[in-house]
Amino acid sequence: MRKVVIIVMVLTVLSTGNLFAFGIGGAFTLDVLESGTGGAALSIKLDQLDPILGISLSKGENNFNFGLTADWWMYRAPLVGIIKLYIGPGGYINVANANDNTLIDLGLRIPVGFQIFLIDPLELFIEFAPRVGVQLSDPITFPSWGVQGAFGFRFWF
């Protein structure tokens, strides 16, 4: 089922290629304060539209995690040579199921990232994003603090 959802999303983005340039790639994610939980992510960015979307999945022996981020790059500037800096507000939602217990964590984040364009269509990136949110579990936790991170690549078409 997850593969079907990802394929449909990729095809949807590819079908808008006539209207917009877009970037699509993969990333590895990490939530530093949540016992180092992380997984693989799909990164999608339409060149003319905000936000940049991240969809992550991870599965262990007794757990399953799904995450969605939406970030707006409000500040983007060259830093040094081929390296660019981006900063902006964003939001996230994570749904985790471990040992038949479901946890929903949602809130706001501020990604700070660096992009490197080594060759024309390929972008490498690394980012960290301090976050604050609410955990909907028993009991409800507010505020829920953390730092999310990701590194990966995007191909621009």
The residue behind tokens 């390296």 is: 83
Q: How many residues does the chain have?
A: 157
Per the structure, the count of domains in the chain is 1
Structural domain that includes position 93: 23-156
Rounded to 10 degrees, the C-alpha dihedral 63/52/24/120 comes to: -140
The residue behind tokens 């997984």 is: 39
The residue behind tokens 């900063």 is: 87
Rounded to 10 degrees, the C-alpha dihedral 130/109/39/62 comes to: 90
Largest CA distance in the chain: 49
Examine residue 16 and state whether it is found in any structural domain, yes or no.
no
- Tell me if 31 sits within 8 A of 18, measured CB to CB: no
**Side-chain half-sphere exposure of 39, counting CA atoms within 13 A:** 20
> Which of 100, 117, 115 minimizes the C-alpha distance to 150?
115
Q: What is the pLDDT along the chain (157 residues), one digit of tens a residue?
A: 555 445 545 545 444 444 456 888 888 887 766 645 677 888 887 766 678 888 888 877 777 888 899 999 899 999 998 999 999 999 999 888 877 788 889 999 999 999 998 888 899 999 999 999 998 887 888 998 989 889 999 888 7
Rounded to whole angstroms, the Cα distance separating 65 from 84 reads: 31
**CATH at 136:** 2.40.160.20
What predicted TM-score, i.e. pTM, was given to this entire model?
0.77
Examine residue 17 and state whether it is found in any structural domain, yes or no.
no
Examine residue 15 and state whether it is found in any structural domain, yes or no.
no
